[in-house]
Structure 1
Amino acid sequence: MDAHSARGLAFAAGPTLAAAAIGSLASRRAPEVYRRLAKPAWAPPPGVFGPVWTVLYTAIGVAGWRLWTRRAGRKALGLHLAQLALNAAWTPAFFAARNRTAALAVVTALDGALAAEIAVVARRDRAAAALLAPYLGWSVFATALTASVGDPAGPPGSTVRR
């Protein structure tokens, strides 16, 4: 493997695995917290999240690899890293800090960063943009869910009690 390919692998795998690891660590109590939330009828069961994120993180990593190997440019690579940083920030805000307001701000910023990344990337690599599209769909769904859930003992928008 040449140096460019090795750096590409590091770019594709490193930030994606870091976001996944942060999310995993911050969501250790997620099933308990999620179960206690006042959720809309369309909220998925807790068992859906793991398999969905496994598929999404794989697609994100492949998209990152494509961006690097096709020399998508600093803007595309920067947006890719920015959305992964926002991805990593949501789970600690929602499940660890239990601050729905902060989590909603983070996931809304994630939606914007992902939409911008897809728009920039689509000009260079339609396949990479297509790999990110389901992630944007899931993120928008997560935004709606984050906005809809509440502490059973408090008003929507409140911080979930421990």
Structure 2
Amino acid sequence: MGLLKNIIKTTAVTGLAAGIASYATNTDTLWNKTQLKPSWQPPEEVFPIAWSALYASIAGASAAVLTKLDNQADEAHDDPEELARIHRERRKFKRALGVNLALNATWSALYWNVRDNWLSAAEITLLASSSIHLAYRAGKVCPAAGVALIPYAGWTAFATALNIEIAHLNS
């Protein structure tokens, strides 16, 4: 039952971030069409496919981490110090996930609506750092979940380089 509860919760919060990002994204604008882009930018069709897979991995890996921590807490019910440590780790992971998803949703609004390439480049740099931190926190608890988040960290690092290059080309 714990895994199902955590999957529902992590899917809901990840879906909310994805929905906000999707709502803020509009590739069919004159601004977007006139932006110079590097030759190594993937075709626009790649982005929703990649993001769908990445959001699924965020929700799934996060549910696995929270479930493992819940199970550890159940086993440590007679050890107050261990129980406190597990609860701290759970709070830290949930905070890392929340910050990451907020940064994730915010980037789309900055890039597509504020249309400030350098501001969005700075923000996505924070997102990439947050994604690496999220994978690290997950891996401390559940190594498989940490590994599952490596593509997300890699994609956000790639997106950072892409955003910086677009900002440079359009300065």
TM-score (norm 1): 0.85
Structure showing the higher helix proportion among its residues: 2
Q: Structure 1: how far apart are the matches of 2:142 and 2:36?
A: 41
**Structure 2 CA distance, aligned partners of 1:130 and 1:112?**
16
1:160 paired residue number:
none
Where does 1:90-105 land on structure 2 (aligned, <5 Å)? 90-105=107-122
Alignment correspondent of 1:55: 53
Distance 1:126 1:5, change over 3 A: closer
Q: Does 1:116 align with 2:133?
A: yes
Q: Where do residues 5-154 of structure 1 align in structure 2 (5 Å cutoff)?
A: 5=3, 7-27=5-25, 29-32=26-29, 33-71=31-69, 73-150=90-167, 154=170
Matched pairs, number = 151
How many percent of aligned residue pairs carry the same amino acid? 29
How far the C-alpha of 1:5 sits from its partner, in A, is 4.6
What SS is found at the alignment partner of 2:45? helix
Supply the distance in 2 between the matched residues of 1:144 and 1:12 (Cα, whole angstroms): 28
Structure 1 unaligned spans of 5+: 156-162
Q: CA deviation at 1:101?
A: 2.0
Answer yes or no: is the 8 Å Cα contact 1:31–1:46 preserved in 2.
no
**Deviations 1:40-90 (CA, angstroms, capped at 9, x unpaired):** 110111111011111111111101111211115211221111111100100
Q: Distance in 2 between matches of 1:151 and 1:26?
A: 23
**Gapped runs of 5+ residues in structure 2?**
70-88
Q: Which protein is bigger by CA-based radius of gyration? A: 2
**TM-score, structure 2 normalization:** 0.80
